[in-house]
Structure 1
């Protein structure tokens, strides 16, 4: 059994159990994720909450007091798959780690890893949405331009990455995005696939990105107008819950 480090923040286990159970009764996936993630609006942004690296034993961390953009979607997807807090813990292991093995080496460090190794739960729909507008780039993840790794101890991995360039995102693309879609902000930087991740939330005709913002003006989970947020970004990768 992996060691655990659990901080529930403002919630008790019983309160989280109730939220997860109520969410599990919502049949529509987008509304389900909206319901769960709405409870985390204004949660503090906190980076580096996970414990483990090439020199340190991995610990199963649940820290709901503070999240970064990636742990936020980890928790939301694991909660979506669950009907109790106990089941959430088990599902988090499978969402965060390949084959449910808690270790630094098997952690899904990259957004496209998260999609690739969670195919039972999510699928990359970037090409389906972007169609002929989709661009593709071959990258070696975890290999910087100078050849050194971002994450020592993790083998570089070649991957073909499909993304929709921001300049190609029009009303046709916008209409295809659904509440609950996980969106990665594509980066052209060597060795990385995305620079940020969040969740699409549709409210009437408006589209928002619900995400844990690291910007000094916010430093918390917020909703931002999707188009305004991405206007100066390179593009998006869209991953849809099954």
Structure 2
């Protein structure tokens, strides 16, 4: 057994009794505070195109942090949370690189919506929304980043074409300028943490990854001592950590590409 897999299995087995399975998102996400940030933390396992492990507890990127926490939330003690994780990460739970839900707006969100697992509450804040329109080209991404999987992708999805994804989002400045919207957000957070999908409308990453993208980051918003906190696996923090969300929005208010967020209730 490859060393990395053996080490991770040992870690999982030793930690299993303490895993907060079936608890609320805030409790589970707190379990992973200060774990290190690692880009592309999960894959399909040793010997596969993406040989990173199928699951781990020691390091996360933004999406694998969200997926791991959510999987544990949906799994009761005695059940296999890693199976729940694969059901979230892959179409029909089929563990294969080309079945992974790579693009948040084009793949991940529509799939979770089709399963009745998420509800978009962005409009519930009563703040004027913006619309993002982004042309996402899966095939271009495979050609640029994953040529070894291009043939498999085109054989599975021969009719796949570039798709223009439209989504509504809250602009940071709009929310900051509408105190009533912030209060509505706090009321919503009293029901439990929300998933925030951070939006970069039609962000031009063609030269680097072969396509435009629109969602570049994910994290949880939660209410803590009356303040809105962003809990996320952050490249800037180099770990899973908490940040004051008002300060976060003020910092990015005039950013040239990062404009706002979707708010999602994970069911």
TM-score range (shorter-chain normalised) is 0.7 to 0.9
Q: Does 1:207 align with 2:228?
A: yes
The residue that corresponds to 2:85 in the other structure is 92
The Cα RMSD (Å) is 3.1
Residue correspondences, number: 226
The residue that corresponds to 2:71 in the other structure is 78
Q: Does 1:187 align with 2:183?
A: no
Mapped partners of 1:238, 1:109: distance in 2: 19
Mapping of 1:1-242 within 5 angstroms? 8=8, 11-13=11-13, 15-21=15-21, 24=22, 26=23, 32-51=24-43, 56=49, 61-84=54-77, 86-112=79-105, 113-119=107-113, 120-129=116-125, 131=126, 133-142=128-137, 153=150, 156-169=162-175, 170-177=178-185, 178=189, 179-188=192-201, 189-190=203-204, 191-215=212-236, 218-231=237-250, 232=252, 233-242=258-267
CA contact (8 A) 2:131 2:168 kept: yes
Shift of 1:180: 1.7
Larger proportion of strand? 1
Pair 136,81 (structure 1): closer, same or farther in 2 beyond 3 Å: same
Paired residue secondary structure (2:99): coil
Shift of 1:168: 0.7
Cα-to-partner distance string for 1:194-220 (whole Å, 9 max, x where unaligned) = 2211101101320010011112xx210
Paired residue secondary structure (2:180): helix
CA contact (8 A) 2:20 2:27 kept: no
CA contact (8 A) 2:127 2:174 kept: no
Pair 157,33 (structure 1): closer, same or farther in 2 beyond 3 Å: same
Pair 79,15 (structure 1): closer, same or farther in 2 beyond 3 Å: same
The residue that corresponds to 1:29 in the other structure is none
Q: Provide TM-score, normalisation by structure 1.
A: 0.80
Mapped partners of 1:224, 1:5: distance in 2: 32
Runs of 5+ consecutive residues of structure 1 not aligned to the other structure? 27-31
Shift of 1:106: 1.7
Structure with higher Rg: it is 2
Paired residue secondary structure (1:211): strand
Cα-to-partner distance string for 1:173-195 (whole Å, 9 max, x where unaligned) = 22333242110111121421222
Larger proportion of helix? 2
Cα-to-partner distance string for 1:115-143 (whole Å, 9 max, x where unaligned) = 211122212222333x4511112212247
Q: Provide TM-score, normalisation by structure 2.
A: 0.73
Pair 176,241 (structure 1): closer, same or farther in 2 beyond 3 Å: farther
